[in-house]
A and B are shown apart, each in its own frame.
Chain A
Amino acid sequence: MFSYAGKILRVDLTSGKISTEPLTEEIAREYIGGIGLGIRLLADNSTPGTDAFSPDNPLIYLTGPLSGTMGPTAGNGYAVVSKSPATGGVGEAKAHGFFGPDLKRAGYDAVIITGKAPQLSYLWIDDDKVQIVPAEHLKYKTTNETDHAIRDELGDFYIRTSAIGEAGEKLCRFACIINDEFRAIGRTGLGGVMGSKNLKAVAVRGTHDVNVANLEGFKEFIKMVHEHMKGPAAKKYKTLGTPENVLVLNNLSALATRNWTNATFEGAHKVSGEYLNEHYVKKIVGCATCGMRCDHICVVPEGPYKGSTSRLEFECLWSLGPLCGVDQLDAVIEAMRITNEYGMDGISIGVVVAFAMDCYEHGIITKSQTDGIDLKFGNAEALLAIIHKIGKREGWLGNALAEGTERAAIIIGNGAEKLACHIKGLELPGYDLRTLQTAALGFSVSFRGACHLRSGAYSPDVSGKVNRFKIEAGRGKIILEGSDLNNIIDSLIVCKFSRGTYYNGMEDLAKYYTLATGIPMTAAELKKTGERIEVLARVFNYREGKGTREHDKLPWKILNAPVPDEGIAKGVYVKEDEFQLGLDDYYKVRGWTRDGVPTPEKLQELHLEKYIPLLPVAAGGK
């Protein structure tokens, strides 16, 4: 079993007990690594109903079989899986950069962290020497300060860290984990889980070799990928970057604006990828082993935020810009910078703020409740002020919003629920689902809540392959195929920006896997593995009371507020009956029950029979 480390590290922060166990070839082959292996380990290492912030909820760090190899974009990833404090179901996120390969070189395919440290601490993994280091001196330090402080005190420039900021320590439900300054284990609030364990950071130094099974064949394969990365599949990321989407979506009436009040933004040209690159992008840099590079490093050259520096991608530019009605990119860059420093999910923070602005505009919250902040759409200073409050959990509103949109709406009450744009407790990413309806269906059934990267179902809408203003039979299959492929991509931990450079899809990925690991693999087996991961995630969510039809739903605004903007999409919204038919279609192609639960036969077929007792009586389980 090449390229795997073959080892799982267990750390119990309560007792300080540290141990290792082998990763078997059977589990490696059936779950690949990354989120696949993570979801399996989560299901097997947690008891039903455990609170996400309980010491018993395992926080699992993972590498993939390609981490630490020269695989372009695949060599540099890691994933974190846990029960999400935002959704109560599977929480998972991946990040690239430089941290992942060091964790692999240190010798681990997974690190299962349980318990709660008696004081704020960080985990120091120095190859096979593993220590829990007291870190009270890092309390409320920013993610970047924490990184520098740990590397300084351990005395090695090449140590990599994955750390939380103040938001994670204060159990913000959309806190993230940051490595390499701008790279985030972003979604589903895993930074909060880390904070609940009194764990400030994981620091790692790995010095061992990573060997692939067939070095010559692997070399030829990555040479091919490098060539493809010079071609059209990577062009967008190497030029304008994902902010190119601003004008693309705006033209499609799909650029959610002012908390899904509008689907176009009159200030779009001022926050476009074109404008960003001309005025703010100083350099485009890359992660370890990347052959394409995409990190658009933005620096504000003048004005009140002069010198503010951050990486900026479409999603966060959108959430902090158009979604809040803000058309000043210098403020958006500053907002991104402080969001990273507090350690918060850059998508969720913008959605949470936009939700609060919507409430303020509707008189649901008043100026006395915002501590005097004039929380109107478009007010950049208010955006920055409220981000600080949320990051610190300061004041009534800052504290409420740190709970995420779903819970904040309940705290605020007074009809706020109708303005809360989330699915399963996770804030919507940057697409107006009223005008991208395959995406609407895909986001609703995603096992981690509102997410564009589980099924990638916005793609057929944006590319015009389907009628994006309605949901009809056949969308279920599109979502199924996208989800199963993305499950494999996230288990190998290949960067999704490079997905187009594998011209033969699953065939290429199967070949890649075998060249690295020496384990025979076919496209058909990988496809089945993608399904296995999806089904196990669904079963886990079901076990936690979050995995049936009633949880696959859309925000009120998407179903009830027609697009008011003049143009092609005027009056469009998702119709409840069409949406329900869409769910039927999806469950049917999945072979699940009408209630959206996998059947015992399905579990048997996927070698998941040990989980059959978790299924409802009606489906043959307990």
Chain B
Amino acid sequence: MSTRPQDRKFVSADPDKCIGCVVCEYACSMVNEKTYNPNKSRIRAMRIGPIENMAVTCRHCEDPPCVAACPRDALSQDEKTGIIHVDESACNGCNWCVAACNFGAMMLHPEKKVAFTCNACEEQPDGPQCVKWCPEEALTFVTAEVLAQKSRQTAVKNLFQQAAEKAKSK
């Protein structure tokens, strides 16, 4: 069965729920690197201010700029899952992909000195482990379509709620 690009899932963080606890980073390094080290995590939680928290990782872009930027064809996108695979023998750590990613989701592995990014825990039967561990249920493994549906649901719910409140206050 071929997978349509719009069926590709990626890990997305809800900024309203994300509390910046970086449990996702530790879970990622535990599962993918068998150690505890956020510097080796493929997801990074950012705290810009005390209230502004959000975890960021690879969004499995359509037409990914990281792949296009690689001068050595070391990066490829899995057609089915959208995951960016790194051919570690071809990568020389030039960082063109790092510069190309608008989300900082493509990083240089601190020890191997080759590009690394979210692999959606494709080896794990129950999917991305950051999603499993997130104590706030702020992370979801979703397709763009479902993400959009959720946003529409929230937006419409809010509109109806506001309208109801307005009617009540009149």
> A residues engaging B (CB < 8 A)?
68-70, 72, 75, 98, 101, 105, 181-182, 207-212, 215, 219, 226, 229-230, 282-293, 295, 297, 299, 309, 311
Contact = CB atoms under 8 A, between A and B. Distances in A.
A563 to B, nearest CB: 38
A107 to B, nearest CB: 12
A285 B35 contact: no
Contact of B51 (A219, A226, A283): A283
Contacts of B9: none
A285 B136 CA distance: 10
Contacts of B20: 285-286
A286 B37 contact: no
A181 B47 CA distance: 12
B27 A70 contact: yes
A382 B36 CA distance: 48
B56 interface: no
A288 B21 contact: yes
B36 A285 contact: no
Interface of B: 19-23, 26-27, 30, 33-40, 47, 50-51, 53, 110, 133, 135-136
A292 B19 CA distance: 10
Contact of B23 (A70, A219, A299, A309): A70
A307 to B, nearest CB: 12
Contacts of A287: 21
B30 A207 contact: no
Given A226-B135, A289-B22, A290-B21, A181 B37 contact: no
A215 B39 contact: no
B50 A295 contact: yes
Contacts of B26: 69-70, 75, 289
9 contacts: A69-B36, A210-B37, A211-B36, A219-B30, A283-B51, A286-B19, A289-B22, A291-B21, A293-B136
A291 B132 CA distance: 12
Contacts of A285: 19-21, 47, 50-51, 53
A144 B13 CA distance: 27
A215 B34 contact: yes
Nearest to B50: A297
B107 to A, nearest CB: 12
Given A70-B27, A75-B26, A293 B19 contact: yes
B129 to A, nearest CB: 10
A212 B53 contact: no
A105 B33 CA distance: 15
A282 B51 contact: yes
